[in-house]
């Protein structure tokens, strides 16, 4: 069975009570984009390596008398290659099409969405917004991954447009690889912790930069007696995320508008688990170490710190792979992607108070629903949903 024979299907995706309703054509566009992205990431992307090996590298060596010394030199050389330019333009366009489809789908039903969300949000103390919280400049200065208004923009005051657009479009960019509710990372965390610490029930969990809570809802559902707090600076994402979590039954999950650089509202050592999912790569170089420091401060002795991210660049990762992974930084408004992936996270965590002896790095793969994303039968290509893979950079803080 080939990759394209069992495509993820937008119409089959399990929705929740506040998910934007797609028309036939909107679902068809997202289906097209999901499969187009998978095709680009596999079949078409292979052409980049061919172009490099057969044309770009030999020309570079001929001109310079040596091989490229870093991912930046490869990028400059590849940016002149016609195949890479073609692939890159397709990829950028697919992101713009995702945003256009998602946003038009959300805006035409914004009244209904705001009303649905209000039903879940009004009068609940599990949503705590604070208009004094500023969106950091490193977030506000650009439209992150071409998302109009980023995570915090409002079409009109108090709306959920940014959160709803993020939720309905991520399926297309990941080719369905995060599962029906786009929560494959969170489900993987649940599976990981149950094996790592069987029987452990944290009393309090803190999730930083939760957006709409895709990956913290599975933890809240897995630990119903745990108090789970998810913070973010973006109000429209929090409004939508809170309603979504309530619709999915995560009543022990609180959404709080707060900047993770200053969590003075939380006492030292007040959480047993502090974590982030696909968050660190969107932080500026100065915010990241500050946030790690704050996270270590609020982590209880004996507690778990965990950051799920794409693998960091290292000497073991070929320069060509680093160049390809860098694509988003230079073509998709992810300004910190490149520099963040080159950081020495272990040193940053050690400087913040988690010495190397208590740190670990482990691999985590998305866990998704096999009814919607069946396993490949022949072993060819990738399993639907199992393509998403992260590194977990973590530490168990020394007990008191």
Write down the least CB distance from residue 210 to ligand SAM, Å. 5
Query: At 290, is the secondary structure helix, strand, or coil?
Result: helix
Cβ count within 10 A of residue 80: 11
Q: How far is the CB of 379 from ligand SAM (least distance, A)?
A: 30
Nearer to ligand SAM, 27 or 287 (CB): 287
Q: What is the smallest separation between the CB atom of 98 and ligand SAM, expressed in angstroms? A: 15
* Minimum distance from residue 80 beta carbon to ligand SAM (Å): 31
Q: Which residue is nearest to ligand SAM (CB)?
A: 209
Contact between 232 and ligand SAM by CB under 6 A: the answer reads yes
215 binds ligand SAM (CB under 6 A): yes
Which residues ranging from 235 to 264 are in contact with ligand SAM (CB under 6 A)? Answer: 237, 259-261
Which are the contacts of 349, defined by CB distance < 8 A and separation ≥ 6? 292, 296, 305, 359, 393, 395
HSE of 177, CA atoms in CB hemisphere, 13 A: 20
Instruction: Tell me the closest approach of the beta carbon of residue 170 to ligand SAM, in angstroms.
Output: 8
DSSP 40: I
Q: Which is nearer to ligand SAM, 75 or 307 (CB)?
A: 307
Taking CB under 6 A as the rule, does residue 277 contact ligand SAM? yes
> What's the rounded Cα separation, in Å, for the pair 127 and 251?
11
Which position among 3, 18, 34, 210 is part of the footprint of ligand SAM (CB under 6 A)? 210
* Least spacing, CB of residue 142 vs ligand SAM, in Å: 12
# chain residues binding ligand SAM, by CB under 6 A: 22
Q: Should residue 333 be labelled a site residue for ligand SAM when binding is judged by CB under 6 A?
A: no
Taking each helix axis from N to C end, the angle separating 24-39 and 161-173, rounded to the nearest 10 degrees, works out to 50
Q: How far is CA 3 from CA 179, 204, 267, in A?
A: 16, 41, 49
The residue ranges of DSSP E strands in the chain, in sequence order, are: 127-128, 204-208, 227-232, 253-257, 271-277, 299-309, 359-365, 389-396
Residues 172-201 that bind ligand SAM (CB under 6 A): 185
Asked if 280 is part of the footprint of ligand SAM (rule: CB under 6 A), the reply reads no
Q: Which of 47, 136, 353, 381 binds ligand SAM (CB under 6 A)?
A: 136
Least gap, CB of 93 to ligand SAM (angstroms): 22
Query: Does residue 231 interact with ligand SAM by CB under 6 A?
Result: yes
Q: Select from 49-57, 71-79, 226-234, 322-330 the region that touches ligand SAM (CB under 6 A).
A: 226-234
If binding is defined by CB under 6 A, does position 167 make contact with ligand SAM? no
What SS3 state is found at 248? coil
The answer to whether 340 contacts ligand SAM (rule: CB under 6 A) is no
Q: Could you tell me which of 218, 280, 282 has the C-alpha nearest to residue 249?
A: 218
Q: Which of 117, 278, 292, 352 binds ligand SAM (CB under 6 A)?
A: 278
- Burial 59-74, CB ≥16 within 10 A → b, else e: ebeeeeeeebeebebb
Query: Who contacts 152 (Cβ-Cβ below 8 Å, separation ≥6)?
Result: 135, 139, 140, 162, 233, 234, 235, 236, 237
- Show the tokens assigned to 200: 């452990």
Among 10, 19, 151, 271, binds ligand SAM (CB under 6 A): 151
Would you give the end-to-end CA distance of the chain in angstroms?
54
Instruction: Name the site residues for ligand SAM (rule: CB under 6 A).
Output: 136, 139, 151, 185, 209-211, 214-215, 231-234, 237, 259-261, 277-279, 282, 287
């Amino acid at each position: 069975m080939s990759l394209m024979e069992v495509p993820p299907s937008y119409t089959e995706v399990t929705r929740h009570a506040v998910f934007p309703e797609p028309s036939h054509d909107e679902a068809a566009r997202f289906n097209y984009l999901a499969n187009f992205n998978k095709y680009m990431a596999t079949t078409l992307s292979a052409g980049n390596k061919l172009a490099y090996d057969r044309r770009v590298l030999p020309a570079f060596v001929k001109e310079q008398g040596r091989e490229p010394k870093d991912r930046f030199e490869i990028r400059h050389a590849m940016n002149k290659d016609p195949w890479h330019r073609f692939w890159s333009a397709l990829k950028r366009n697919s992101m713009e099409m995702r945003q256009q489809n998602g946003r038009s789908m959300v805006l035409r039903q914004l009244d209904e969405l705001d009303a649905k969300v209000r039903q879940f949000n009004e009068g609940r103390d599990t949503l705590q917004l604070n208009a004094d919280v500023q969106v950091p400049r490193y977030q506000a200065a650009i439209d992150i991954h071409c998302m109009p208004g980023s995570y915090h923009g409002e079409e009109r005051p108090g709306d959920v447009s940014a959160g709803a657009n993020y939720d309905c479009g991520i399926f297309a960019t990941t080719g369905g690889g995060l599962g029906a509710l786009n929560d494959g990372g969170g489900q993987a965390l649940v599976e990981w912790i149950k094996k790592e610490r069987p029987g452990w029930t944290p009393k309090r969990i803190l999730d930083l930069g939760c957006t709409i809570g895709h990956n913290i809802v599975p933890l809240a559902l897995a630990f119903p007696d745990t108090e789970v707090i998810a913070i973010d600076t973006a109000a429209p994402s929090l409004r939508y995320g809170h309603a979504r979590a309530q619709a999915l039954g995560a009543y022990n999950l609180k959404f709080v508008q707060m900047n993770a650089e200053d969590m003075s509202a939380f006492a030292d050592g007040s959480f047993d688990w502090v974590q982030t999912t696909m968050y660190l790569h969107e932080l500026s170089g100065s915010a990241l170490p500050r946030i790690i420091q704050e996270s270590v401060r609020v982590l209880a002795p004996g507690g778990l710190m965990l950051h799920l991210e794409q693998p960091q660049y290292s000497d073991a990762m070929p320069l060509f792979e680093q160049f390809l992974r860098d694509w988003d930084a230079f073509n998709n408004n992810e300004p910190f992607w490149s520099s963040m992936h080159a950081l020495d996270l272990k040193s940053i965590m050690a400087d913040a108070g988690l010495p190397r002896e208590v740190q670990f790095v482990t691999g985590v793969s998305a866990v998704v629903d096999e009814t919607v994303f069946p396993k490949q039968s022949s072993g060819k290509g990738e399993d639907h949903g199992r393509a998403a893979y992260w590194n977990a950079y973590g530490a168990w803080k020394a007990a008191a």
